[in-house]
Amino acid sequence: MNDKTDLRRQLRRRRAAVPAWLRRCAEQRVAKRAVPWLRRGWRVGAYLALGSELSLAPLMTLARRRGVRLFLPLVPARGRRLGFVAADAPAGRWRRNRYGIAEYHGRQRLAPHRLDAVFVPLVGFDAQGGRLGQGGGYYDTTFAFRLRRRWKKPTLIGVGFECQRVAQIPREAHDAPLDAVLSERAVYRPGHLSRDSRARKTAT
């Protein structure tokens, strides 16, 4: 636990130090790398970036263009199970949650197991699908059913900067492993890690 707290602090510091040009570049590259999961008619979970998190704004724009239905998380009043609400349904209201993240309170809610894919924010990751989050346990709790069932949906895709990667995130039994992680440098696919050739292109 203490391991995780120290690591979290260190990785947050690294993430906060990512310069603006690299942020913009990473956001664009991550959007391009997300294309295999941005399929017409798919229900896809995203998030609104908090602080120095990698922004999904370009990814969300691309997703809408491709006919994806986007959903945003809602922090529950009690417990740790996130709700998901359609981001583009009309007549909702924007409110800030207790962490200062804008939330869309719309009518069209969806149970987490009905999503096809979810882009997950992170503080740290490893190439084996290990994830370190903010420490609230929300994503682990919400997608805990994935540990118990054969059913592999939704696909959980971590999103972060390359500087968030470490050799090994300390594993705990409740951690919901990621199916893929996208960074500005590569697509990590635990089991069959594939670095694409574009990874070596210089940043623009």
Ligand X SMILES: Nc1nc2c(c(=O)[nH]1)N(C=O)[C@@H](CNc1ccc(C(=O)N[C@@H](CCC(=O)O)C(=O)O)cc1)CN2
In the complex, the residues that contact ligand ATP under the rule CB under 6 A are 4, 132-141, 144, 172, 174-175
In whole angstroms, the minimum distance from the beta carbon of 137 to ligand ATP comes to 2
Q: Which does 196 bind (CB under 5 to 8 A by kind): ligand ATP, ligand X, none?
A: none
Whichever of 21 and 145 has its CB closer to ligand ATP, that residue is 145
Q: Which does 140 bind (CB under 5 to 8 A by kind): ligand ATP, ligand X, none?
A: ligand ATP
In whole angstroms, the minimum distance from the beta carbon of 169 to ligand X comes to 15
Whichever of 37 and 138 has its CB closer to ligand X, that residue is 138
Whichever of 51 and 67 has its CB closer to ligand X, that residue is 51
Instruction: Fill in the per-residue mask, 57 to 96: x = in contact with ligand X (CB under 6 A), - = not in contact.
Output: ----------------x-x------x--------------
| Pair 37, 66: CB distance under 8 Å | no
d(CA 69, CA 48): 15
In whole angstroms, the minimum distance from the beta carbon of 61 to ligand X comes to 17
Assigned token pair, 8: 């979290």
In whole angstroms, the minimum distance from the beta carbon of 175 to ligand ATP comes to 6
In whole angstroms, the minimum distance from the beta carbon of 175 to ligand X comes to 13
Any bridge partners for residue 69, and if so which?
Answer: 43
Pick from 51, 67, 149, 172 the residue near ligand X by CB under 6 A. 51
Core vs surface per residue 46-68: b (16+ CB within 10 A) or e: bbbbeebbbbbebbbebbeeeeb
Positive or negative torsion for Cα 161, 174, 59, 34: positive
d(CA 91, CA 93): 7
Site for ligand X in 107-146 (CB under 6 A): 121, 133-136, 138-139
Does 23 bind ligand X (CB under 6 A)? Our answer is no
Q: Which residues bind ligand X (CB under 6 A)?
A: 12, 47-51, 53, 73, 75, 82, 99, 101, 121, 133-136, 138-139
